[in-house]
Chain A
Amino acid sequence: MKVAVTSKGKEPGSEVDPRFGRCRYFAIIDTDTGGFEAVENEGALAAGGAGPQASQTLSRTGARGVISGSVGPKAFEALKAAGIEIITGGAGTVEEVVKKYMKGELKPVTSHSVDSHSGMGGRRG
Chain B
Amino acid sequence: MKITVASGKGGTGKTTIAVNLALSVEDAMLIDCDVEGPNSHIFFKEPMVKLKDVSIPTPRFDLDICTYCGKCSDFCQYNAISVVQDKLLFFEELCHGCGGCRIICPVNAISEEEHIIGTIEKGGEEELPLYHGRLNIGEPFGVPIIRELKGLAGERPITIFDSPPGTACPAVETMRDVDFCILVTEPTPFGLHDLKLSVDVIREIGTPFGVIVNRDGIGDDRVESYCERENIPLLARIPNDLEIARLYSEGIPMVKGIPRYGEMFRELFERIRGLVR
- The interface bits of chain A over 48-67 (1 if a CB of B lies within 8 angstroms of the residue's CB, else 0) are 11101101100100000000
Q: Which of B70, B73, B80, B87 contacts A82 (CB 8 A)?
A: B87
Chain B interface residue count: which class? 10 to 19
Nearest Cβ on chain B to A7's Cβ, whole angstroms:
21
Is there an interface contact between A81 and B79, defined as CB atoms closer than 8 Å? no
CA A48 to CA B82, docked complex, whole Å:
13
Q: Does B83 contact A (CB under 8 A)?
A: yes
Q: Which residues of B contact A83 (CB under 8 A)?
A: 85
- The interface bits of chain A over 27-57 (1 if a CB of B lies within 8 angstroms of the residue's CB, else 0) are 0000000000000000100111110110110
Is there an interface contact between B78 and A78, defined as CB atoms closer than 8 Å? no
Most buried by A among B80, B84, B89: B84
Q: Identify the closest chain B residue to A78 (Cβ).
A: B82
Q: Which residues of B contact A77 (CB under 8 A)?
A: 89
Is there an interface contact between A49 and B78, defined as CB atoms closer than 8 Å? yes
Q: Does A2 contact B (CB under 8 A)?
A: no
The secondary structure that dominates the A interface is helix
CA A117 to CA B73, docked complex, whole Å:
20
CA A19 to CA B239, docked complex, whole Å:
49
> Please, how many residues of chain A have a CB less than 8 angstroms from a CB on the other chain?
18
Q: Does A112 contact B (CB under 8 A)?
A: no
Is there an interface contact between A53 and B79, defined as CB atoms closer than 8 Å? yes
Is there an interface contact between B89 and A78, defined as CB atoms closer than 8 Å? yes
Nearest Cβ on chain B to A43's Cβ, whole angstroms:
7
Nearest Cβ on chain B to A11's Cβ, whole angstroms:
28
CA A79 to CA B70, docked complex, whole Å:
16
CA A59 to CA B77, docked complex, whole Å:
19
Nearest Cβ on chain B to A76's Cβ, whole angstroms:
11
Q: Which residues of A contact B80 (CB under 8 A)?
A: 49
Near A by CB (< 8 A), chain B positions 28-80 give: 70, 73, 77-80
CA A46 to CA B80, docked complex, whole Å:
12
List B residues at the A interface (Cβ < 8 Å).
Answer: 70, 73, 77-80, 82-85, 87, 89, 91, 94
User: With contacts A49-B80, A78-B89 known, what are 8 further pairs, Cβ within 8 A?
Assistant: A46-B79, A49-B79, A49-B91, A52-B89, A74-B91, A74-B94, A82-B84, A83-B85
List A residues at the B interface (Cβ < 8 Å).
Answer: 43, 46-50, 52-53, 55-56, 59, 74, 77-79, 81-83
